[in-house]
Amino acid sequence: MRIARAGTAVTKSQLKVLRTEHSHRLVPAVASPAVQSVLPVNEILVGDCLEKLASLPPASIDLVFADPPYNLQLEQTLSRPDQSLVDAVDDDWDKFASFADYDEFTRAWLSGVRRVMKDNATIFVIGSYHNIFRVGTILQDLGFWILNDIVWRKANPMPNFRGRRFTNAHETLIWAGKSAAAKNYTFNYEALKAGNEDCQARSDWFLPICTGTERLKNETGSKTHPTQKPEALLARVLLAASQPGDLVLDPFFGTGTTGAVAKKLGRSFIGIERDETYAKAARARIAAAEPYPDEAVSAAPSKRAQPRVAFASVVEAGLIAPGAMLCDEKKRHRALVRADGTLMLASAGAELSIVGSIHKVGALAQGLPACNGWTFWHVERNGKLAPIDDLRTTIRGALKVAAE
C-alpha cells in the first residue's frame, strides 16, 4: 500500500498506528523536528507541511486558513466544445491513490494544525464537493467544533463544458473552533454588520474568482498557480475572525494570497509551501504589498468588549429621573422609570402594574419573548426622541475617562 501525501509517496513501513478516542486508523508518521523556539513570523517555510507544522511551538497561532488539495480525481483531460483544452488542475500535489489515502493526509495535517492553534483560535478550510464533506467529518472526529459553513458563490464561475452537470458555481468554507469549549474566539460581529449596510453578515459570500491583474502569471503567460484564491475572499476571512497583530497560519500557502492580505491588514503570517516555485512567487508578491494605514485597519470598538452598564446606574447618575416616561420610537408603548432602575408598563385604560427590567417590560409590551430594552425604549429630550442606549454610552465614556 502506498499513501500519497500531497504528491509525495509514503510506504506502509513509514506509517504508525495512532489509537485515539476518535480513530484507530493509520496516519503518516512524521519525524519530529526540533520545535523552533522563535516563531518564524512573516516567513514562508518551504517543505512538507506535516514536518513544518511539527516544528512550530504549540498553542501559538490565532487563526488558520487552509486551502488543501481538493483531490479532484480528474481521469482525463477536459475540452471545450471547440476542442480546446481546459486549463484544469492536474498537478501531482492534487493526486491521491484513493479516498482512504486522502483521508489519512487530511487527518494528519489537521492534527498538526490543531496542536499549534491557541485555545480560542479558529480555522477556515475551503474546498469543493470533491473533498469538503470528508474534511468536515475529520474535523469533527478530531474534536474541532464547527461554527459555520460558508458558501462562496462565484460571480464568474467556469462553465460546464460537457453539459452533463450543473455548473460548479460555488465552493464551501468550514469555519471551526479548536473545540466546543472555545467560547472567546474572535468574531468581529459589529464591524461586519456595519460594513454590510447595518445588516448581519450572512454565510453566503458573492465574490468573483481570481482574474485580471490579480492573477499571477509566469514567464510564458500561464497561471503561476491553478487555484489562486482572490484577495477579497481572504480579506473577508481575516476581517471576520482576527485582529490587527494576530498571527495567521496558512499550511498550503501557494502563491501567498494569505500573506499578502495579512500584510495589508496589519496581521502577521506563517506560510508553509512545498513547491519552491510557488514560494518564490509568494515572496515577490508579499514584498510588493503595501500595508494599509493603521487607522484603516485598527479594531473597531465592540459592544461586547465594553463595560457592562445597568439601567439602574443611568438612574443613579441622574441621567434620567425616577418618574420619567419612556416610549418606543413610534410612541405605541409607554413605561414609567422607577427609582430602582426597573420600569412599570403603562397600559391604556389599565392600572400601572407590570414591573420589570427594561428588556422584560419591552418584550411584554410587544408580546415578544425577548427585547433589547436599550434600543427599544426612548426618552424625549428637547422635543426629540433618543434611545436610552445613548445614556449608557455617556456612562461608558465617563468610566473610560476615570480609568485613564
E-state strands within 113-235: 117-127, 145-154, 170-177, 204-207
**What residues contact 189, with CB distance under 8 A and at least 6 apart?**
200, 201, 302, 304
Asked if residue 4 lies in contact with residue 13, where contact means CB atoms within 8 angstroms, the answer is no
All residue ranges of the chain with pLDDT < 50 are 1-30, 74, 76-81, 83-86, 88-89, 93
Task: Determine the Cα–Cα distance for residues 146 and 132; give it in Å rounded to an integer.
Answer: 13
Q: Is residue 31 part of a domain?
A: no
Does residue 131 share a domain with residue 259?
A: yes
C-alpha cell at 365: 409590551
Asked if residue 14 lies in contact with residue 31, where contact means CB atoms within 8 angstroms, the answer is no
Q: Which residues pair with 170 in a beta bridge?
A: 153
Q: Is residue 150 part of a domain?
A: yes
DSSP three-state, residue 188? coil
Does residue 140 share a domain with residue 55?
A: yes
Asked if residue 246 lies in contact with residue 237, where contact means CB atoms within 8 angstroms, the answer is no
Q: Is residue 24 part of a domain?
A: no
Q: Which residues pair with 205 in a beta bridge?
A: 152
Does residue 321 share a domain with residue 292?
A: no
H/E stretch holding 64 reads: strand 61-66
Asked if residue 224 lies in contact with residue 218, where contact means CB atoms within 8 angstroms, the answer is yes
Task: Determine the Cα–Cα distance for residues 380 and 324; give it in Å rounded to an integer.
Answer: 10
Does residue 231 share a domain with residue 95?
A: yes
Task: Determine the Cα–Cα distance for residues 171 and 165; give it in Å rounded to an integer.
Answer: 16
H/E stretch holding 141 reads: helix 132-141
* Closest by CA position to 367, among listed 332, 392, 320: 332
**CATH (domain of 201):** 3.40.50.150
Does residue 326 share a domain with residue 279?
A: no
The residue out of 234, 261, 296 marking a domain boundary is: 296
For position 10, what pLDDT does the model report?
37
For position 13, what pLDDT does the model report?
37
Does residue 397 share a domain with residue 267?
A: no
Does residue 354 share a domain with residue 260?
A: no
The residue out of 266, 296, 326 marking a domain boundary is: 296
- Helix residue ranges, H only, 189-274: 189-194, 231-241, 257-264
- Number of domains into which the chain is organized: 2
Does residue 315 share a domain with residue 291?
A: no
Q: What angle do CA 17, 49, 209 make, to 5 degrees?
A: 125
Does residue 365 share a domain with residue 244?
A: no
**What residues contact 17, with CB distance under 8 A and at least 6 apart?**
24, 26
Does residue 266 share a domain with residue 226?
A: yes
H/E stretch holding 75 reads: none
24 CB neighbour count, 10 Å cutoff = 8
Does residue 361 share a domain with residue 259?
A: no
67-107 per-position pLDDT tens digit:
999 877 545 444 444 544 445 445 554 567 888 999 999 99
For position 22, what pLDDT does the model report?
31
Q: Which residue range forms the structural domain that includes residue 357?
A: 311-402
* Closest by CA position to 50, among listed 3, 105, 95: 105
Does residue 243 share a domain with residue 112?
A: yes
Q: Is residue 38 part of a domain?
A: no
Asked if residue 321 lies in contact with residue 337, where contact means CB atoms within 8 angstroms, the answer is yes
DSSP three-state, residue 192? helix
